[in-house]
A and B are shown apart, each in its own frame.
Chain A
Amino acid sequence: MPATTFTAEDLRRILREGAGADDGVDLDGDILDAEFEALGYESLALLETGGRIEREFDITLDDDTLTDARTPRALIEAVNARLSASAA
């Protein structure tokens, strides 16, 4: 069990702070398996999101993490895997 967990709420907050939210998208809804692109987030938005996750949670994400994680669920899992690795 990692000392810190990255939750869906963390992701929602960081997306809003760093990249804003599309008016037609309800970030509080069931977004975990939606593709980021369908939620209105292009690669630069994800770069900004990744940077904010890194500095807040004090981890380093591989470049591939952001490009491979096409959905919130995948990104949350990847971040938590990284957090577990740094806690170990």
Chain B
Amino acid sequence: MRGKAVVTGLGVAAPNGLGVEEYWRATLGGRTGIGRITRFDPTNYPARLAGEIEGFVAEDHLPGRLLPQTDRMTRIALVGADWAFADAGIAPGDLPEFDMGVITASSSGGFEFGQNELRALWSKGGQYVSAYQSFAWFYAVNSGQISIRNGMRGPSGVVVSDQAGGLDALAQARRQIRKGTSLVMTGAIDASLCPWGWVAQLAGGRLSTSDDPEHAYLPFDARARGHVPGEGGALLVLEDGEHAERRGARVHGEFAGYGSTFDPRPGSGRPPGLRKAIELALADAGLEPDGIDVVFADAAAVPELDRVEAEALAGVFGPRGVPVTAPKTMTGRLYSGAAPLDLAAAFLALRDQVIPPTVHTDPDASYDLDLVGPEPRPAALGTALVLARGHGGFNSAAVVRTATG
């Protein structure tokens, strides 16, 4: 496994399941985590559904010193990192501290923490704003807190490119592994289901205003009307292949290919960049299109964007040329957390030789997609392609495959 970056640990926190196996059971069972918002009263907002994580009690997992200084997304990320380490069969103390990095993605930062402090500022005054607001809202805070908690002082940072960031973080982690770092904690957790975060998301104009959890988020369906947001994502231990081999690690698979592009400016007449990102990722993995066994779609559920994705897939793989799935129909779109969760699902799909379902969607025939339906589909799987697009023109694609010696 020389020169390869392999995933040896998964930590999952999703609206339809906390922890890898609970998420996977729920996903294969078609169980949705989408429902009416409970975190605040959504009655007077135009969009009222979200994928909320249930049953996460930070106090059960984290020391008291961390609670006053962390947003919900950071608490979930810290626990997700703990789970990923445990799954990797490694403790952070096992490695030299400068040989481990943390590279996560973020799309919005710690909104709920920031909302509370802004409220304190305008209702009581500056003296009432927490000193921890200085970093608790910040995009890089999940990386920073994971680094501090686990003593990981190697190459670290954050990438911010909306939903595409979830793959861009893995790519950046792989660069650092190629430069000699043995292990990088990577992936992303986003969580901004609070009134301030909600109005920011509403401003993007892509939220579904349906009140029916079964009809709100319908990518590739003629009834597509925007997406339902969710919270959560996944942390992954990305490790140098030789390092993993030396310690006899169980390997989920290889992060084998990556490509990213940026869309041309509107009106330029040039084509969207997604297809090129797919082609770059395939070339990076050394694969032809027929070497991809399943695609985890970005699944915007905005008709124009669904069209772009379907055309990119048909262009590369041919009409109905590859099975396509969107298990995020059960979680909502998790922004930077979405693609790391899809990567985790892809590795589990490779393990169990089954493609997770896409629920509720009745695909429009004109998209020419072989969209996996509401039941899991058994299949011989050795590779998967994961797609993620970020607001404003980010396109990223990643190829994962079963680890081979």
Contacts and interface: CB of A to CB of B under 8 A. Distances in A.
A55 B68 contact: no
Majority secondary structure of chain A interface residues (helix, strand, loop or mixed): helix
Contacts of B132: 44, 48
A40 interface: yes
Contacts of A44: 69, 131-132, 134
A8 interface: no
B135 to A, nearest CB: 8
A20 B134 contact: no
B127 to A, nearest CB: 5
A17 B128 CA distance: 13
B333 to A, nearest CB: 33
Interface string B127-140: 11011101000000
Interface string B61-99: 001111111000000000000000000000000000000
Nearest to A47: B131
A22 B127 contact: no
A29 B59 CA distance: 22
Interface string A37-56: 00010001101100100110
A21 interface: yes
Nearest to B65: A20
Size class of the contact patch on chain B: 10 to 19
A69 interface: no
A22 B131 contact: no
Contacts of A16: 64
A84 B392 CA distance: 59
A40 B67 CA distance: 14
Interface residues of A, number: 16
A19 B69 contact: yes
A18 interface: yes
A14 to B, nearest CB: 11
Given A44-B132, A48-B132, A19 B68 contact: yes
A18 B128 CA distance: 11
B65 A21 contact: yes
Interface centre among A19, A22, A54 (most CB of B within 10 A): A19
Given A19-B69, A44-B132, A51 B64 contact: no
Nearest to B64: A20
Nearest to A42: B65
A16 B67 CA distance: 10
A66 to B, nearest CB: 11
Contact of A55 (B63, B64, B127, B134): B127
A23 B67 CA distance: 12
A77 to B, nearest CB: 22
9 contacts: A17-B68, A18-B130, A19-B68, A20-B66, A22-B63, A22-B65, A23-B64, A44-B134, A51-B127
Interface of B: 63-69, 127-128, 130-132, 134
Interface of A: 16-23, 40, 44-45, 47-48, 51, 54-55
Given A20-B64, A44-B69, A51-B127, 17 more contacts: A18-B68, A19-B65, A19-B68, A19-B69, A20-B63, A20-B66, A20-B68, A21-B64, A21-B65, A22-B64, A23-B63, A23-B65, A44-B132, A45-B65, A47-B131, A48-B130, A48-B131
